[in-house]
Structure formats: structure tokens, C-alpha cells
Structure 1
Amino acid sequence: MVLFEGVDCKKLGGLNCSSIVDIESKMKDPLSCIPYATDIYRNIRILELDHRLSFNYMETVQQDITPNMRGILIDWLVEVSEEYKLASDTLYLTVNLIDRFLSQNSVEKQRLQLLGVTCMLIASKYEEICAPRVEEFCLITDNTYTKQEVLKMESLVLNLLHFQVSFPTIKPFLRRFIQTAHLSYRESSVELEFLANFLAELTLIEYSFLKFLPSLVAASSIFLARWTLNPSDHPWNPTLEHYTCHKASELKTAVLAMEDLQRNTSGCPLNSIREKYRQRKFKCVANLTPKKPISLLF
């Protein structure tokens, strides 16, 4: 099975097609949209390039806010998403909308939280079956902002984005790559899924990760999660390289930066994501760190 029609395996790192597992033939979940999966992921790979986020807007656009303020906002929004039991897709889209708005409009720090809850409101309407009401988002800010202020900001954000809110985030790539990892290694690990999701969510808070494409962050999460759980086995194989379209060497910079986040080498005080994944329902994966430095692989 070929991921991109007309693509030669040799162009994907000289891979032998016989060593690539056809994951579509092994999927049983009808929600995987198996007949259309190749076209879907080809399309979102194109979209992530066409709609790539600005990774220096703090320096070029913003005058009153900093990367640290952005991190504090997102850390708080993680708590909000847990409070309202929102899907992880909603959180990823919320952060994407915040960054898109900030890359084009200068925002005063007093209105940054307003932007955050408004983007979560928009993302909830797009992703959730039953989105929280505007009043609930006002309440979560201790009524710092009125319903009218939130609705006005919603109109401002949507008009700035020309009502386009369907942007590729890390999550759809991560979902696909987790399936690939499970099927290509002929093992299904709940820990791998939780750990990869934990590592990917850690990057949301870090402004520096905007320079990486969503697909690359998702692939790096799988790479580091597999290394953390099983350092005796190389975390990358031909099937993962084929379906992610990323060689192990291309992941190096992102993986090393992600390992620093995982080990919390900078002593980051923003702990909402860590506390979330320390829960038993997530197998306490936030407590896991690699037994061997990931740099040994590169």
C-alpha cells in the first residue's frame, strides 16, 4: 500500500516496500474511514503546509504579551477543558486559534484571557456535541468578562479568520500515528497512547514548538513514547517512516526538545498537563521518563 499516489518508496528514505505493513488492511474500526484514509491524510499534510503558523509573532506583532503569558493562559485552559470534560481535539484547536489570532493582532495582556475563553468557545462549537454556553465561559473567569464582551471577541476572531476554523492540528496526525505504531509493532499499548498524548500536549504550552509542523510533533511524540516504554527496541521502523513521512533523523531536534519537557529540565511551574496525566485513568504516564537519554539514538 502506498501512502501518496505515485510516490516511490525510494523517495521515502530508500525503504523496501515489502517491509512496510499495510495498516489499512488491519484496521477494524469503521470510524477510521479506511477507504478514504489515504486521501484524508494526504490532504491534511498539504493543509498543514498551506496554513503553517507564524513562529515569531511574539517578536514581530505582540507588544504587551510574552511567551510566558501565553504558556500561563494555555495551562489554565487545560484546567478549563478538564472542568468541562472537553475533547482533546477542542484543546488543540483552541490553542491553534489563539496563535492564529495573535500572529495577526496585537493584544493587551488584560484581554489575553478573554481571547483564550473565546477561542475555546469557538473550538467547542466546532468539536463538541454539546458545547458549554457562553455564560459558562464567563463564569469560569469569575465573570471578569461579560457575555457581550465574549460575543464581540468571537465575532472579531471569526472575521479575522474568515470563518475558517478547520485547521490541521497535532491531534489528527497523532491519532493516525498511534494506530500505525500499534499495528506495525503488532502490539497494542494503552500506555503508549496515553504517553504520546501527554508528550504532545506538553508542547502546546511551549511557544518554541510553533516552529515544528503538527505532523512532526505528533511523530516525535510516538518516537519518544516508544523509547520511554522500551529503550531496548529502536522506536522507529519502516512502517512509521512511511506513514508519517518523517525519517528518524528529521525528528531529532523536536524529540530532544520534547525530552527536555518530559524531564522538566527547566523546572517549568505550569503543571496542569502533568497533573492531568498523573491520574490513574491515564496510567500515571506523566511520572515516566526515559531510562536512557534519547540522544543515544542520534
Structure 2
Amino acid sequence: MTRQSGRLQKRSENAPGQKSIVSKQINRKKVQPLSKLQCEKNQLILKGVTKPCVVVESVKGARIDSDQNDHHVSGDSSARPSPLPPLGWGSPEDVWVKMVGKEQTYRRSEGFTQKHPTIQPRMRSILLDWLIEVSEAYTLHRQTFYLAQDYFDRFMLTQNNVEKNMLQLIGITCLFIASKMEENCPPKLSQMAHVTALTYHEEEILQMELIVLKALRWNLCPETAVSWLKLYFQLASMNADSDLLEPQFPRDLYVQMTRLLDLCLLSINSLDFQYRVLAASVLCHFLQQETVEKVSGLSRDVLQPCLNWMAPFVESVGRFGRATPEDSARMKEERHNIQTHTDYLTMLDDASSKEVIGEFLTPPSSTEKQ
């Protein structure tokens, strides 16, 4: 797969006689797409069936999928008190336990690439970068893109031997589902088909939508990395007497944080960490680490591996990814919540080239943070 002209592109070769999971094949005319990700076939090859999900109870009642092997789950959060302030609409302890429990229920792993031999980690990065572009083009919220990313990663973990030509269809379908979950006025189905340059038709997106929903068992409400980041920043910025649901954080600084989070998420290695750990590690590069530990309920030992891994991405964003003054001047009431795109793939290449085993940068000192 290669990056071409800001979209995903499909090659014209035919699949060598393989079966599709969908019940009927849609006969359609070949259309020359104008996209960036090279694809080769028109059928989804999904071998095997989603494994049954066995659920057990943790000490705090959070649901855990016992059939998943997650070596990077941090378990100290259940023993820590809730960092949430008193809530007039619920128990902060109950709310916190449910939020943390979603990290155990909605499982992801970079090991999904081992289940799909034709898919390389770079292809995931290209696809997510394209979905960010689509989100910006349709003025979608950041949460919409992050939901789509979560759906994609979890869906791929439930399948086997998905061919690389189907990534664009799966990706745009996940974004279509996410937009209906998050947006007041989601893009129309015809718009989603149009953005693929008619590589896929509306009927195919609808068919894939049902496949994705069944594979995810309709579990569509995770706590995404950006929702954790927003919560942490709100807790760190709010006054003692203010309402948790009223945004009080500096929005231009929040945009800078989301750029770093966007870049990190494009890396397949981000799946080594829970969303709340990723969000807290991003915040550590803008606020004092003691403050981050307080608002996240995560210890220094839990955060340090992610901070070490994130260091090259911080350096790359510092050189390439800061918002321009024009972006800040245009920022209106909801502008900080709208997904924006920059040259993330260039920054990702730059960060990847600077990753050296055993040699990491550390977050800036508190005197250097704004």
C-alpha cells in the first residue's frame, strides 16, 4: 500500500476466486478511484468466526474478556480512589469504576496484524490518516474519529485473514457508524460512498456495517483516548466550585494536545497502552506529572513506559505539528472539538526514525511547560 494524492486507491486486479462473508455479491461497474491506499480486490475474505466472549468479574465489578491476552493492562487503578469531584447527578466512585471498566471490556491489541498476513502496520497508519482527512472534510468531531479508530481496531481483532484491499471499506464503514453515534447531523451514506471515489457503493457499506456491528456485538460506547484526555484536562483546569460538565480548559492548548494524541494513535504500537494511559502521558508533556497522576489516578510506574515510548512523537510534533496562529484565531465555540488534519504521516516517519531502544527522552520540566 502507498500514499497517493490524499485518498485511498484500489487496484484493478481481480481476487483469485475467494468467497465473501456477505451473502450476495453486488455486480457493479468498475470505477477508477482517486484515492491513496492501494487495494486489489472487491471482496472481503473473513476466515473463521468471532470467538465467544467469556466475561468474568474483577474486584471492582468491571467486566473483563477472559479470551483476550492483554499484557499491558495496568491494574492499580481499581485500588486508587476516584479523582472525580462530587457530582450532583451520580456517585463519582461508581462513575469512575464504570469508566475504567470499559478499558477492560473494549479490548484492543496490536497482535491483530498477526491474524492478517497481508496487512502491514503502515497500512493502518495510512488508513487512519485518511479517516482524519475525511473527518476534517465533513467537519466531524474528534470523538467521531476516535470512535471509528476504536471500532476498526477491535473489529480487526475479531477476524482472520482480511485482505488489504478491504481496509478502506472497513474504515469508512467504521466512520459511518461512529458519525451516527456522535454527530447531530451525520454525513449521508451517499457522501461516505463518494469520498471513496465510488470504489465502494452504498450497498457495500451497508453490508459491511452489519458485519462490523455483529462482530463488535453492538458494543459501541468505549471511553476513547480523546475523551480521557478531555476529562483529565478538565479536572486539572477546573475550580473547586465549578461543574465538571462545563469546559474550563484553555482550548488552544487542548488542540496542541490532540495533535500529539492523533500522531501517537497512528502508530500500531499505541495499542500496547490503554487509552487512559495514552491520554495521561500526553498530558504529562504539558502539565506537571504530579498533577496528571492526581487527575488520572495512575501512578508514575504505570505512566513511565508510555512516556518513554511517546518521547520521539513529542519531539516530532514540536517541529512539525503546532497549530498556526490562523487556526487559533478561527477557533470558535466548538472549534476545538472538530477533528483537524496535518501532515501526520511525515511526522510519524520522523518519530519512527528516532526511536532507539534504551534511549528515550523525558517529559519537559515543569518550568518549561505552559
TM-score range, shorter chain: 0.7 to 0.9
Residues 285 and 363, structure 2, Cα contact 8 Å, conserved in 1: no
- Alignment deviations for residues 54-108 of structure 1 (CA, whole Å, 9 cap, x no partner): 231112x112111100000000110000000001010100000000111121321
Answering whether residue 334 of structure 2 is matched by residue 281 of structure 1, we say no
- Comparing both chains, which one has the higher relative contact order based on Cα–Cα distances under 8 Å and sequence gaps of 6 or more? 1
| Offset, 1:184 | 7.5
Which residue type is aligned with residue 289 of structure 2?
A: W
RMSD value over aligned CA atoms? Answer: 3.2
Distance 1:34 1:76 in 2: 41
Determine if contact 1:121/1:132 at 8 Å carries over to the other structure: yes
Amino acid aligned to 1:96? D
TM-aligned CA distance change 1:164 to 1:296, over 3 Å: closer
- Structural mapping, 1:249-264, within 5 Å: 249-264=301-316
Q: Which residue of 2 aligns with 1:85?
A: 139
Tell me whether 1:199 sits opposite 2:267 in the alignment.
no
SS where residue 144 of structure 1 aligns? coil
Rounded Cα–Cα distance in structure 1 between residues aligned with 2:91 and 2:362: 31
State the match for 2:48 in structure 1: none
User: Following TM superposition, by how much is the alpha carbon of 1:183 offset from its aligned partner in structure 2, in angstroms?
Assistant: 3.2
**How far apart are the structure 1 equivalents of 2:325 and 2:125?**
22
Larger Rg: 2
Give the C-alpha shift of residue 204 in structure 1: 1.7
> Does 2:66 align with 1:43?
no
Q: Secondary structure at the match of 2:158?
A: coil
2:276 to 215, 220, 232: 215
Q: Residues 135-166 of structure 1, C-alpha deviation per residue, up to 9 Å, x if partnerless?
A: 10111111110111111111110111122211
CA distance in 1, matches of 2:295, 2:88: 14
Deviation at 1:41, TM superposition (A): 2.8
Q: How does 1:136-155 map to 2 (within 5 A)?
A: 136-155=191-210
Task: Indicate if the aligned counterparts of 1:224 and 1:259 stay in contact, CA closer than 8 A.
Answer: no
Change (3 A) 1:35 1:108: same
**Which has the larger helix fraction?**
1
Is 1:101 matched with 2:155? yes
The answer to whether the Cα contact below 8 Å between 2:107 and 2:154 also exists between their aligned partners in 1 is no
Work out the CA distance in 2 between the residues paired with 1:164 and 1:55: 20
8 A contact 1:23–1:183 mirrored in 2: no
| Per-residue deviation, 1:23 | 6.8
Is residue 2:133 matched to residue 1:65?
Answer: no
C-alpha deviation, 1:253, in angstroms? 1.8
Give the AA of the match of 1:236.
Q
Q: How far apart in 1 are the matches of 2:131 and 2:210?
A: 20
| Paired position in structure 2 for 1:244 | 296
Query: In the alignment, residue 294 of structure 1 is paired with which amino acid?
Result: T
CA 1:84–1:150 in 2, change beyond 3 Å: closer, same or farther?
A: same
Identify unmatched segments of 5+ residues in structure 1: 5-10, 26-32, 227-234, 288-292
1:51 Cα deviation from its structure 2 partner: 2.1
- Of the structure 1 ranges 137-146 and 246-255, higher mean CA displacement relative to structure 2 is found in 246-255
Q: When the two structures are superposed, what TM-score results if normalisation uses the length of structure 2?
A: 0.61
Change (3 A) 1:37 1:78: farther
Does the Cα contact within 8 Å between 2:285 and 2:364 map onto a contact in 1? no
Q: 1:190 aligns to what?
A: 251
Q: Distance in 2 between matches of 1:34 and 1:193?
A: 26
- The amino acid across from 2:209 in the alignment is E
Per-residue deviation at 1:255? 1.7
**Unaligned segments of structure 2, at least 5 residues:** 1-59, 61-78, 241-247, 332-341, 344-360, 366-370
Instruction: Name the residue aligned to 1:29.
Output: none
Compared with structure 1, are the counterparts of its residues 201 and 191 closer, same or farther at alpha carbon in structure 2 (3 Å cutoff)?
A: same
Aligned to 1:28: none
TM-score by length of 1: 0.75
Q: 1:183 to 1:43 in 2, by over 3 A?
A: same
CA spacing shift, 1:93–1:224, aligned 2, 3 Å: same
Show the 5 A alignment for 1:15-30: 24=85
Show the counterpart of 1:166: 221
Matched residue count: 252
Deviation at 1:191, TM superposition (A): 3.8
Counterpart position of 1:231: none
Q: Secondary structure at the match of 2:101?
A: helix
- The whole-number CA distance in structure 2 between the counterparts of 1:279 and 1:66 is 37
